[in-house]
Structure 1
Amino acid sequence: MVRSRTVELEGHIIDSGMMQRCFGVVMDLDGEFEVEEFRVGKHKDEESYARMTVSADDEETVRSILHELHQNGAHVPNPSDVALKPAPEDQVVPHGFYSTTNHPTQVRYDGEWLPVENIEMDCAVVIDPDERRAATKVLNAIEEGDLVVTDESGVRVAPPERPRGGGGPFGFMQGGVSSERPSESLIREIGETIAETKENGGKVLAVVGPALIHSGAGDDLARLVREGYIDMLSAGNGFAVHDIERGRYGTSLGMDIETLEHPRKGHKHHIYTISEVIRAGGIAAAVEDGLIEDGVMYECVENDVPYVLAGSIRDDGPLPDTITDAVEAQNAVREQAHEADLVLMLSTLLHSVAVGNCLPSTTRVVCVDINPATVTQLLDRGSAQAIGMVTDVGTFVPTLAETVLERASSN
């Protein structure tokens, strides 16, 4: 027996690709659709509307189709209030709980649409009835008795729409990855975006890997920190060690940054560096003692730029500042991600993915890596406000710093 449901699409559903994606979902899942009403926005700021009936041979298939359509911004007409169930115990969610996307989301509670605060992917949504607020919670933060949203009834998702103007780095360049892009002009546009973000009171988060130091770009990133263009830093133990080693010995993982040679006993420099910072009591203490006199971490300490160093199983040492508890590190990264308005992901896959998982799809992201697969993987995680560059971070960061600081001096 054929089952059917009606869904609605609203907004710039044509040029954003929403309608096309929804049609594809229905066909890919062996369903059928019939467009009952279609109103096309005829002006730049005018939205379009479509109502269509989705049908399939069984109820389970219809539910699967509706789930996918919901993720793409479709919603059922005349929705009911959201369904809530209490969490049975700490860190345990009810069966059928709603798992979030990273797109802006609302839930209908007591006849009112509530925005879901701190939206990020793969979380539960908890409602506080006293405060009439809805917010995401990761599973390990769920407490017994939390009112958890279940199913998708009363939930609306609004994927970001493609800018119609197509201007700037987050316009025509978005969504694709290529090493053949006009790099200098794109870097210039990214620099303009960083400056505009700061001028508008926004915050810039840099997510960086050790290759940035190894490629010789550390001094230029340090300049951006010193001049106030980087508000937060997210990295691993390795980045901080390479940065401090470079200042102490002129090497990064034993290689001389200037000559690209490996000095005698240079392979021991990173472990010497770790030992010296541990002896001092941490990075800030080492700066105070004069042990660290330059570099990215030095500028972070001197300019009160908060940093998160998330540890891994392969870390040497680690440095005292490195957070070795994975959940604690996730929470620290999450706090930074929720504050960021623009994120620079520079040559680090693992830390960029970790931060990317915590970002709403509306946060602007720039991802730079020499490996096209890294850039593609990061941009495919759902953000419509992201651009990627396949290039050497050792070329990108100095050019970016020059662009940003030249703009500042000319104003």
Structure 2
Amino acid sequence: MTGTAPSATDVLIVGAGIAGASLAAALAPWRRVLLVEAEDTPGYHATGRSAAFWHESYGGAGVQPLTRASLDALDRPPADFAEQGFLTPRGALTLGRSVDAVAVDAFAAAFSEKGVAVDRISGAAVAAHIPGLRPHWCEAAYEAACRDIDVGRLHAAYLRAAKRAGASLVTRAPFRRARRMTQGWEVEVGGATIRADLLVNAAGAWADQVAAASGVAPVGIQPRRRTMLQLRLGVPVPADLPLVIDIGGAFYFKGESEGRIWLTPHDETPVDPHDVVPEEIDVATAIDRLQSVVDWPVAAIERKWAGLRSFAPDRLPVFGADRHEPRFIWCAGQGGFGIQTAPAIAALLAAQLGAPEPQGAIGWIDPSPFAASRFG
């Protein structure tokens, strides 16, 4: 283990990715918090491999309130948290072919009804956003408010804030098991045994394994592999190219720098939790799908990587006390939207664990749709 683990704490959080780090930062001013991480570096499997953006419609209508409520914290954080915001302009196109016009109409209408700023565009207006677009890709919903998120800086800011408030972080401390005691938990992590009043499961892809090793029924968190590529192109595609997402969920890509893009086939391959790597078939699929959309020659695959996204059965995040074990707290199932919703989820869950109720837009959110108690 790296770091000194106390023998006892109020709240022990398993997992120091964006979910655990943001919760630790929100809760540490009010409770003694210990954050434990199995890897050498927090955020190794998911947070650190994310091509994150703040995109209000991403994740669906059920997730959208958490995304919207998180905007101010990401864009205009308090001065004692960060010197500047974590967002930079991007814009997003939910793109379809001529045969997808009805689906794009429905997408734009559904999110417009929720107050999302969506412009329905067609034909030349779509092509103006994407140089080299093939003619049959002519229907889109444009969201100008989409921004990139500086994930590394945001994650580091949460870890710093947690530390300033008194939280402890121990890395190289894999969770072994937990035993329910009369007044809390006896938890084995690394080579230490720690007593905790509350045990928070923010273990991402390993969330169901942590539950099972604590004598708690899993809720069905499924890890899924997501493949990402950085391509150097043979044409001067602009760095500020919008985020382009297929209405059917078959790809997304966005500008990375002049003549370079990040691309994914939007794969969600179910896997057991482990250190995933990209499969060549997924790399080939991504490029094939890209070239069906634009006429850009690919000069080189400069990078390729894969990360883990984890979903509950209903694809909504899971946070709050377990249905049958109220001192076991879930903070899992954030899928691909965990970073853009982290401020809201952390504030709402921290309030359930002893922090003050959140104010502003976050305070208006009803957390019940995301409660762990929804699972039997």
* Both structures adopt the same fold (TM-score exceeding 0.5): no
Between structures 1 and 2, the one with greater helix share: 1
Q: Which has the higher contact order (CA 8 A, sep 6+)?
A: 2
- Structure 2 length normalisation: TM-score? 0.28
